[in-house]
Every structure is written in C-alpha cells, then in structure tokens.
C-alpha cells in the first residue's frame, strides 16, 4: 500500500508509540496538585445544596421555603420543580439552597417543608408478574427457522435463567461543579464532565444565553464511566443560582444523592434456550428478556452476543420503574448481553460435555469478521491461564470445601475515532503546544496526545505541552464509546505532520537541501541519510523568527489512522468456599486487541481497571431498592460495595500487537475489557461448584442457595 | 476519637470518679449542644465546675498542618476535611464518600493515617497534621509518589492522594511488607477506576527502594 503522508511510523521507526510510558499527569495526581472541578474554590464562592424528593413516585402538593430563607447565612432558595409536578424517582431535585457555608446550606434544607401526594411506585422488576402495566412488551423478532432447530430430535438443548441487576456508576468525584458569571453576560463553569466541548451548546439552549458567552472548564475529572455528558439539572441550576446571588456557586452532589440519581446501568433478566448439534455446532437461540433502566425502561440488549447463532426467536419486555434514570454505563448494553449469552452458551457446553474453549472455537464462524482474532486470543488466554492444566469438567471433585473453577468469555466493541480539531503550535523558542477541547477521564488522553506529538517531532514526551479541558479550545468530541484516543491521536498526528512541514520549509534553505529531504529525529532536524547535516530542534525553531507555526489538525482526515471493531477474551480462575459461599478471584486473564496502541502502560492499566470494575459488578455491586419505601437502600460507599485492593487476585493482561493488529490503526479501549468479567467469573463459579448461580452479583447467599439446589455432582 | 475515650477512662482526679449520672449528663451535652474543647474533659466533672461548651457558633481554633500553625474560625461541627478543603484551599484530600469508608481524604495525624472526613477540626488541635501538600513540599515528589507514577497507580487520580497518604503511613509502620500485608494495610481505601494492581506494585516498590537505600533486603513480591 502506498505510504500516505500522515500514516503512523512503521514499527521499526517508532520511538515512543507502543512503549510503556508513564502518564504525563502522574506527578500532579500523585502529589495532590491536580485540580478537579470539586477542588475549585473561587473568591467569594458560596455553596449550594439540593433538597431531594424522598418518594419514588409522588406529586408535589406544596412547598414552603420561608423558614429556610430566614436562616442567617442563606443567600437564596430556589424552587426547581413546582407544585403539581409528578416526580418519578426518589432523589429527584425539588429545591436548591445557596448559603455562605456548606453546613448552613445543609441546615436550610431541613427547614424546607414539602408536602407530597404519594403515588404507586415500582422499583423491582425481576419478578415480571409484579410489575403490572409497567411492562411494555416489544414485537417478537425471528430469524431463520427456530422451531425446526429446537424440534430437531438430535439437538441438544440447554435452558436457563440468567440476570444482572441495576448497578450505578459511582464516580469517585460526584457530579457537579462551580458556576461563575464573569460579568452580566458571560458564564464560566467548571464541571466534572466527559464532554467539555459539548457542554456550552447544551447550557446555552436551556439558559437562553449565547453559546459564545459560555466557557466550560474541566482540567481534571474524577471518573465518568458514561454518566457525565450532560450539564444535567444541577449544572443548569448552579448557573442560575450564581446569577441570582451574583457570586460563584459550588454545587456538588452529595454521595447519597449521586447514587440515587446520577447514573444507573439497566438490569436484564432472561430465560434462554440454546440448541446445538451433538458436535457443538450452534443451531438455535430463543430468549425472553426483560429489564429496566428506570422510567425509560430498557431496550433489547444485543443478544445473542458476538456469536450470531442461526435461527433465533427473541421476545423482550421493557419495564418502566421508579429506580432513577439509566445512563450510558461503560460499553452500554454489552456487559449485560455478554453475560446473558456467554453464561447460556457455557451451560450448553457443559451439557454437551465440551470444554467451553473448544465449544467457542467450534462456533467462531459465527463471530465474523473477527473469527481469526478470537481464535488467536482464545489460544493466548488459554495459555496464560494454564487452561489445559487447570480446567476440569463442571464440579470440582477434589476433597475439601474450597472448589476451584475456570470460566471463559469473549466480547466485542466498536470504538474508533471521534471528530476532533486541534491547534498545533511550534514556537520560535522550541516549545510545542497541542491545544484542543478534549478531556482526560483518567484514560490518559493528555499522555496519548503528548506521545503522538513527540513521536512526530522526534522529541521527548516532556517537550510537549498539552492544553485540554477548555471549551474555548478547538472542539473535540465527548469521551464515550472508546473514541477519544482515536480522535485526538488522529487530529494531533495530522496537525503535527503539517506543522513539521512548515518548520522544514523554514530551515531547508539554511541546510541547503529541499524541505522534502528533511526529517525530525532524536531532537534534531536533519537531512535524511546524512545526520551530520542537522540542527537541534531549538536551533531549527529559532529560524522561524518571531512567528510561531500554527496549524490545525483534524480527525477524520486524509490517510487511515484508525479503524473500528475489536475482540477480546477473558478467563477467570476462582475459588468458591462451599461452606460460606464466598467467591475469591485467584486470577483473571485478559487478552485484548485495540489496533495500534499509543501507550502500552496506560492501555494495560485500562484493562487492569476494567477487570477490577468487572470483579466489582460480578461479586458485589447492586443498586438495592426497597419496594416499601421506593428508595435505594445502599446509596453510600459503606453499603454500595466496590471491589477493594484485596479482592482482585492476580490480573494478567496481554495486549495483541504486531502485524494484523497495529495496521488497523488506533481504535480505543475504554469499553471492551469491562464487558466480559461477569460471564467469565460466573462461568468459573459454575465450573467450580457444578451449578449455575443465575444472577449477578455472586453473593455468598446466592452461591449457597444455588448449592442447596444441587451442584458439584 | 481517642481524646474522648482517654478522658473518660482517666478522670483528672481519682476521687472524682464518674457516676453513671455524670457520664450521661456529659454525653447529653456532647450530643445535643455541640462539642467540648479537645483538651478539656469530655464530661461535666462536677455540678459546680461547668464544662466549657463550644458552639454551635464558630470558634477560633489552631491547626498545625505540615509544620505550620493555621488559625481558623470554625463551627465545632466542621470536619478536618472541610476545614482543609473549604477554609484553607488545601484540596489534595478528596471528598468521595464523606463517611469514613473510601479513604480518599486520608491525612496523617501524629503519624497515623486517618479519614479527615471523620475527624472534627477542633479534635485535630494540638496534633501534627500531614497532608498530601506537605508530603510533596517544595515541589519534590516523595518516593511513594514516584512509585505511584512509575507503576501508573492512578487513572482519574481522584483517590490517588488518599492512597499515597495511606501508603506512606503504612510503609512507615511496615517497612518490609508482603503483598498480603499491602492488601490489608491499604484495604481502607477504595478506587472506582480499579488501579489496585498499580497501587500494590507501587507500595511494594516504594518499600523496596527505601530498604535498598538502607542496605536492607525486601521480601515483598513486586
């Protein structure tokens, strides 16, 4: 293929790309110097607190804020939702208070009297017979001839019940920020967001303020996982409150409130039948699924997942509940679809007395176009998990109460590169700046930009200044769907190549060669094939005189720098205590492709993190709702259990690189590795104890209940 | 809050031993009215010697933070975390759970790692408070911080200062830990991005580096 001028350097030429490089924000984070939106303290700043509705479904009958207004230190009380409004979930915001100090704002909330007319609510959806008219069945979907597939007398059919509850995002930094009116017309907000460039248009529309008058800032942000794309009601309210009081206002959700309202991953439950020939060839799929993402219900997840089983019937029922609205949760729909599919297939493999890896391999033709990728990844994962040595058929027959098991799962995700514009500047003093309205969620956006620029300029990473987190910079897409690395690396690469051309043009006459014969390497601008004829980067930049090179880089653009679509395989190795029901992770193996990797260190860390999060939702996490009160019972971190440092066992990550992988260009990695842990861990538990624990999280009580029904054998 | 417990156990004078009634009175004051001065007995010792009750209005307090005295006027109910973040603009300690679970607000009080959200500022008077800002004094990274950077023991970084402070306090007491010790010692800190693999390695590596300087030999697996 002809070389295109923006193409990534060939493998042998890469000095930085694909190496393990420490993230550029590391020192600021480790020393506490990194300033998050929560950390912004402005002169004269006041604090806002929100009064939340205690009922899951209610109509506001009256609101009396007079006592709150009288409290010394209270600056304003603002009604957010008026009398007569029907509230659909507990935690919905009713009144906002601004006070001199947080404690006073909290006191003021207690003086507000709101009367409600309680209305019937539904917060449980697992038992479909109890949800009444909240169930909205969708039309049945059919492909092929499922009736024939299931009636085939030679078919082996496995039938089971599977499910995962609603979980929350639980971002370390809660939602919210600081709003400040710079003058009567111009608003500046610091918001914890995944969408710096996308915020001003959303705020402008609601406030009726011109987009040009709004600046959104977010230098560091404490986790989003899909829940921070919008300014949200609190983001709008803090701007209104700041205008009312004429001072900057900080409005951060308190943890309990954040857990109730600021993000949930839809639940899914399913009765699934799968059919295969005796040799393991999949022939049929039948599923009845239902789930909720709050008032909006939940659409059919992408099942059967990865393997496009022939002859399908799918029936789905969306359940509208009062659990608080769903938000995109890392790889929306995929962890659920993966869990439902890969557990059902694992049960079928067990019924066929087949090794599940052999079973998946047998059916990989259904995983087009990534058949070969999965084959390679399954082999690699099996090797790293010592599958041949450690796997056994269902039910660990060894003596003693601790049973060990292995489970496997595969996943997929799109990714790619979002739209991104950046400004690349090379200054006469040799400094280099890349400026764009992107954000770093902890995925290493700044680091990826710095590496891309440094690689292109032949400079060390530290030589590049990266400016992001400001909506006044050239716009870049929101960070969702694993599209940021592809977007910002594409715009940065193109901009840097063009900027370098201009620098070459400025220094070529002095070196006595045409600009095309120059290259940038090892901190120098030199004549290709004659390194003796060169200038240091600084000397070269001095030739610019007083004018910096300023170039705009774009993604998408000429030359194929990225693509879309990845696979991925994970294997879980667990021990289950059959006396206590406690599941312990011994080892997790993740084999993952994501095209060309810019920074291997942060890429591996994405996988470590995603698997850790996956262990959390497999073993501990659930948004537990109380049907009597309609409230979330575990909205704080002492009761909403995240995985801790002692819960993760050994995690082995292998990134697929080299020919066939690197040449796909940059793809993105935030979502894929978080998809498979649920199924892999559940399958490992079934392998250990000989019986399926049907729903996540795999709590001791559920493990013991499953064992009571059978197991080991 | 050890100050309270100690004073209950050791009355100032042996012959003024507490009656149950005195104790309940004292406890009642503490619950309903506000809080008592840190260095005073936490209970009303006798009818004619009234306990000095502070608050609910703001009172002057002095905190010794990173070797420097800081004078503040705070309501007695203000936590050390809010005092640092809202009154001193020291935002390295983070508010994540605000109820003594996640460790993002960890600071070191007289050598011991504590959750700053669960200590009242007035109760921290007279103690040496070390925060993440003090650990990176002069812009130089502490070796624990360097290990965190090297092992990429952060993603969003919000929990990182808490982990660094907890690691520092842990390693001061456990200079040569095994991986299992690290998992127990840092079990009071939570991360949502899931950077425990890096934290584990960073803590072991920091121990190893320090032992190396002292000519010792680490046994922790890195």
Q: Which residue among A533, A555, A577 closes a domain?
A: A555
B141 and B178 co-located in one domain: yes
- Say how many C-beta atoms besides its own lie within 10 A of residue B6's C-beta: 11
Taking the CA of residue A630 and the nearest CA in chain B, the distance in Å comes to: 23
A523 and A580 co-located in one domain: no
Q: What is the spatial distance between Cα A395 and Cα A404, in angstroms, rounded to a whole number?
A: 9
CB-CB contact of A411 with A463 (8 Å):
no
A270 and A390 co-located in one domain: yes
A411 and A421 co-located in one domain: no
Given a cut of 70, is residue B34 above it in pLDDT?
no
B104 and B141 co-located in one domain: no
CB contact under 8 A, B197 and A23: no
Listed in sequence order, the DSSP H helices in A208-289 are: 232-245, 255-261
Does residue B118 lie within any of the structural domains?
Answer: yes
* Helix (H) or strand (E) run with residue A177 in it: strand A176-181
- B65 Cβ neighbours under 8 A, 6+ residues apart: B84, B88, B90, B129, B130, B131, B134
CB contact under 8 A, A26 and B78: no
Q: What is the spatial distance between Cα A75 and Cα A689, in angstroms, rounded to a whole number?
A: 61
A522 and A580 co-located in one domain: no
Expressed as residue numbers, the domain containing B81 is: 59-135
Q: Which residue among B54, B69, B89 closes a domain?
A: B54
Q: What is the spatial distance between Cα A240 and Cα A179, in angstroms, rounded to a whole number?
A: 9
B63 and B131 co-located in one domain: yes
Given a cut of 80, is residue B26 above it in pLDDT?
no
What sign does the CA torsion over B117, B123, B125, B126 have? negative
A444 and A541 co-located in one domain: yes
CB contact under 8 A, B136 and A636: no
Q: Which residue among A555, A574, A606 closes a domain?
A: A555
CB-CB contact of A156 with A689 (8 Å):
no
Does residue B219 lie within any of the structural domains?
Answer: no
A677 and A547 co-located in one domain: no
B115 and B181 co-located in one domain: no
Q: Which of A30, A617, A640 to mutate to test the interface with B (most CBs of B within 10 A)?
A: A30
Does residue B201 lie within any of the structural domains?
Answer: yes
- Which of A26, A38, A444 is opposite residue B148, by nearest beta carbon? A26
Hey, is the C-beta of B65 within 8 angstroms of any chain A C-beta?
Answer: no
Q: Which of B158, B166, B177, B206 to mutate to test the interface with A (most CBs of A within 10 A)?
A: B158
Phi, psi of A270 (to 5 degrees): -155, 140
**What pLDDT is stored for residue B139 in this prediction?**
84
Does residue A130 lie within any of the structural domains?
Answer: no
Does residue A125 lie within any of the structural domains?
Answer: no
B50 and B82 co-located in one domain: no
Does residue A5 lie within any of the structural domains?
Answer: no
A96 and A230 co-located in one domain: yes
List the strands of the sheet with A549-555, edge to edge: A464-467, A432-435, A420-426, A549-555
Q: Which of A609, A612, A638 to mutate to test the interface with B (most CBs of B within 10 A)?
A: A609
B9 and B24 co-located in one domain: yes
Tell me how far apart the terminal alpha carbons of chain B are, to the nearest angstrom.
Answer: 36
CB contact under 8 A, B91 and A39: yes
**What pLDDT is stored for residue B50 in this prediction?**
65
Does residue A570 lie within any of the structural domains?
Answer: yes
Q: In B, which residues are within 8 Å of A27 by CB distance?
A: 141, 145, 149
Does residue A126 lie within any of the structural domains?
Answer: no
Taking the CA of residue B152 and the nearest CA in chain A, the distance in Å comes to: 6
| Count of alpha carbons within 13 angstroms of residue A501, beta-carbon side | 11
CB-CB contact of A361 with A569 (8 Å):
no
Q: What is the CATH number of the domain that holds B127?
A: 3.10.20.30
In total, the C-beta contacts within 8 angstroms joining chain A to chain B are: 190
CB-CB contact of A18 with A598 (8 Å):
yes
CB-CB contact of A476 with A421 (8 Å):
yes
- Domain count within chain A: 3
Instruction: Retrieve residue A515's tokens.
Output: 């600009």
- Which of B141, B182, B190 is opposite residue A30, by nearest beta carbon? B141
Does residue A383 lie within any of the structural domains?
Answer: yes
Q: In B, which residues are within 8 Å of A36 by CB distance?
A: 91, 94, 158
pLDDT tens column, B197-222: 999 999 999 999 999 887 777 665 44
Does residue A129 lie within any of the structural domains?
Answer: no
- Which of B97, B160, B183 is opposite residue A646, by nearest beta carbon? B183
Given a cut of 70, is residue B175 above it in pLDDT?
yes
A627 and A698 co-located in one domain: yes
Expressed as residue numbers, the domain containing A678 is: 264-415+564-708
B contact residues 25-64, partner A, Cβ 8 Å cutoff: none
- Secondary structure of B121-153 in the HEC alphabet? HHHHCCCEEECHHHHCHHHCCCHHHHHHHHCCC
**What pLDDT is stored for residue B47 in this prediction?**
54
Q: Which residue among B103, B135, B167 closes a domain?
A: B135
Does residue B220 lie within any of the structural domains?
Answer: no
pLDDT category, B48, cuts 50, 70, 90? low
ipTM: 0.97
A601 and A698 co-located in one domain: yes
* Helix (H) or strand (E) run with residue A286 in it: strand A282-291
Given a cut of 50, is residue B37 above it in pLDDT?
no
CB contact under 8 A, A223 and B164: no
CB contact under 8 A, B136 and A33: yes
Burial of A98 by CB count in 10 Å (0-12 exposed, 13-18 middle, 19+ buried)?
buried
- A624 Cβ neighbours under 8 A, 6+ residues apart: A632, A633, A634
Q: Which residue among B135, B153, B187 closes a domain?
A: B135
B130 and B141 co-located in one domain: no
Nearest residue in A to B149, CA atom? A26
Burial of B195 by CB count in 10 Å (0-12 exposed, 13-18 middle, 19+ buried)?
buried
- Domain count within chain B: 3
Q: Which residue among A221, A252, A283 closes a domain?
A: A252
Does residue B162 lie within any of the structural domains?
Answer: yes
Strand bridging mode B59-65 / A176-181? unpaired
Q: What is the spatial distance between Cα A269 and Cα A286, in angstroms, rounded to a whole number?
A: 14
Higher-pLDDT residue of B11 and A229 is A229
B129 and B163 co-located in one domain: no
Does residue B222 lie within any of the structural domains?
Answer: no
CB contact under 8 A, B192 and A602: no
**What pLDDT is stored for residue B13 in this prediction?**
41
Q: Rg of chain A's alpha carbons, rounded to an integer?
A: 28
A579 and A530 co-located in one domain: no
Hey, is the C-beta of B121 within 8 angstroms of any chain A C-beta?
Answer: no
Does residue B64 lie within any of the structural domains?
Answer: yes
A79 and A209 co-located in one domain: yes
A692 and A591 co-located in one domain: yes
Does residue A213 lie within any of the structural domains?
Answer: yes
Does residue B221 lie within any of the structural domains?
Answer: no
Q: What is the CATH number of the domain that holds A273?
A: 3.30.365.10
B160 and B129 co-located in one domain: no
CB contact under 8 A, B193 and A613: yes
Q: What is the spatial distance between Cα B9 and Cα B12, in angstroms, rounded to a whole number?
A: 10
Taking the CA of residue B6 and the nearest CA in chain A, the distance in Å comes to: 27
B190 and B203 co-located in one domain: yes
Could you state, in chain order, the average pLDDT of each consecutive group of 10 residues for chain A (713 residues)?
87 97 98 98 98 98 98 98 98 98 97 98 97 96 98 97 98 98 97 98 96 98 98 98 98 98 97 98 98 97 98 98 97 98 98 98 97 98 98 97 98 96 98 98 97 98 98 98 97 98 97 96 95 95 97 97 98 98 98 98 98 98 97 98 98 97 96 98 98 98 96 71
């Amino acid at each position: 293929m002809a070389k295109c001028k923006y193409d990534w350097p060939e493998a042998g030429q890469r000095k930085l790309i694909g190496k393990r490089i420490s993230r550029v924000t590391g020192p600021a984070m480790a020393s506490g110097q990194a300033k998050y939106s929560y950390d912004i303290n402005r002169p004269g700043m006041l604090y806002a607190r929100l009064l939340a509705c205690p009922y899951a479904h209610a109509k506001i009958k009256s609101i009396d804020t007079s006592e709150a207004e009288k409290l010394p230190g209270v600056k304003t009380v603002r009604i957010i939702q008026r009398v007569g409004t029907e509230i659909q979930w507990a935690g919905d915001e009713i009144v906002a208070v601004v006070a001199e100090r947080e404690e006073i704002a909290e006191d003021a909330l207690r003086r507000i009297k709101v009367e409600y007319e309680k209305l019937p609510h539904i917060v449980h959806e697992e038992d479909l017979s109890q949800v009444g008219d909240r169930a909205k069945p969708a039309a049945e979907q059919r492909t092929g001839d499922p009736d024939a597939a299931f009636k085939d007398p030679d078919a082996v059919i496995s039938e089971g019940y599977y499910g995962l509850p609603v979980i929350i995002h639980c971002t370390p930094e809660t939602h919210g920020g600081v709003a400040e009116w710079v003058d009567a017309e111009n608003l500046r907000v610091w918001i914890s967001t995944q969408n710096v460039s996308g915020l001003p248009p959303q705020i402008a529309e609601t406030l009726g303020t011109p987009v040009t008058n709004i600046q959104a800032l977010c230098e560091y942000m404490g986790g989003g996982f899909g829940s921070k794309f919008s300014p949200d009601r609190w983001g709008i309210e803090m701007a209104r409150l700041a205008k009312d009081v004429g001072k900057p206002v900080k409005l951060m959700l308190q943890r309990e409130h954040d857990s109730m309202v600021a993000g949930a991953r839809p639940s899914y439950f399913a009765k699934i039948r799968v059919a295969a020939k005796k040799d393991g060839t999949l022939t049929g799929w039948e599923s009845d699924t239902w789930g909720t993402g709050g008032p909006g219900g939940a659409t059919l997840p992408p099942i059967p997942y990865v393997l496009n089983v022939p002859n399908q019937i799918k029936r789905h029922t969306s359940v509208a509940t009062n659990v608080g609205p769903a938000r995109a949760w890392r790889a929306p729909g995929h962890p659920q679809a993966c869990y439902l599919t890969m557990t059902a297939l694992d049960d079928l493999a067990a019924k066929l007395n087949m090794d599940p890896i052999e079973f998946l391999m047998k059916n990989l033709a259904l995983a087009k176009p990534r058949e070969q990728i999965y084959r390679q990844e399954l082999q690699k994962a099996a090797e790293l998990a010592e599958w041949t040595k450690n796997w056994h058929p269902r039910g660990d027959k060894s003596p003693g109460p601790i049973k060990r098991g292995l489970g496997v799962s595969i996943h997929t995700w799109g990714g790619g590169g979002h739209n991104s514009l950046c400004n690349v500047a090379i200054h006469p003093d040799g400094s280099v700046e890349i400026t764009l309205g992107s954000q770093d969620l902890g995925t290493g956006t700044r680091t990826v930009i710095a590496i891309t620029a440094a690689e292109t300029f032949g400079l060390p990473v530290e030589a590049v200044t990266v400016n992001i987190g400001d909506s006044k910079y050239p716009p870049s897409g929101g960070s969702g769907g694993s599209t940021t690395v592809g977007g910002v690396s594409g715009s940065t690469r193109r901009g840097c190549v063009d900027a370098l051309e201009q620098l070459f043009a400025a220094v070529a006459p002095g070196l006595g060669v045409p600009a095309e014969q120059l290259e940038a390497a090892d901190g120098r601008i030199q004549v290709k094939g004659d390194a003796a004829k060169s200038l240091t980067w600084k000397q070269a930049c001095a030739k610019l005189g007083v004018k910096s090179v300023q170039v705009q880089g774009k993604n998408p653009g000429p030359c194929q720098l990225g693509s879309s679509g990845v696979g991925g395989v994970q294997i879980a190795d667990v021990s289950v205590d059959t006396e206590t029901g406690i599941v312990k992770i011994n080892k997790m193996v993740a084999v993952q492709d994501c095209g060309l990797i810019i920074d291997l260190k942060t890429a591996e860390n994405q996988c470590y993190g995603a698997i850790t999060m996956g262990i959390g939702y497999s073993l501990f996490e659930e948004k537990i709702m109380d049907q009597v009160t309609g409230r979330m019972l575990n909205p704080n971190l002492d009761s909403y259990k995240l995985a801790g440092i002692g819960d993760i066992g050994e995690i082995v990550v292998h990134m697929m690189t080299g020919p066939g992988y690197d040449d796909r260009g940059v793809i993105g990695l935030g979502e894929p590795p978080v998809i498979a842990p649920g199924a892999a861990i559940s399958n490992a538990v079934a392998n250990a104890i000989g019986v399926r624990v049907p729903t996540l999280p795999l709590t001791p009580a559920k493990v013991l209940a499953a064992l009571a029904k059978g197991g080991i054998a | 809050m050890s100050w309270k417990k100690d004073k209950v156990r050791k009355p100032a004078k042996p012959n003024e031993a507490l009656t149950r009634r005195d104790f309940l009175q004292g406890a009642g004051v503490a619950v309903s009215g506000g809080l008592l001065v840190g260095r005073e007995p936490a209970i009303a010792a006798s009818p004619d010697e009234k306990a000095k009750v502070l608050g609910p209005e703001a009172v002057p307090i002095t905190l010794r933070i990173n070797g420097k005295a800081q004078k503040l006027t705070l309501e007695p109910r203000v936590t050390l975390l809010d005092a640092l973040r809202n009154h001193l603009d020291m935002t390295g300690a983070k508010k994540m759970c605000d109820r003594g679970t996640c460790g993002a607000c960890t600071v070191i009080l007289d050598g011991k790692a504590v959750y700053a959200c669960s200590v009242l500022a007035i109760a921290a008077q007279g103690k040496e408070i070390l925060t993440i800002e003090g650990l990176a004094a002069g812009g130089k990274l502490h070796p624990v911080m360097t290990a965190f950077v090297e092992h990429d023991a952060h993603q969003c970084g919000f929990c990182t200062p808490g982990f660094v402070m907890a690691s520092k306090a842990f390693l001061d007491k456990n200079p040569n830990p095994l991986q299992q010790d690290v998992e127990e010692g840092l079990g009071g800190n939570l991360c949502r991005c899931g950077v425990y693999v890096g934290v584990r390695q960073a803590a072991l590596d920091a121990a190893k580096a320090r032992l190396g300087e002292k000519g010792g030999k680490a046994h922790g697996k890195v």
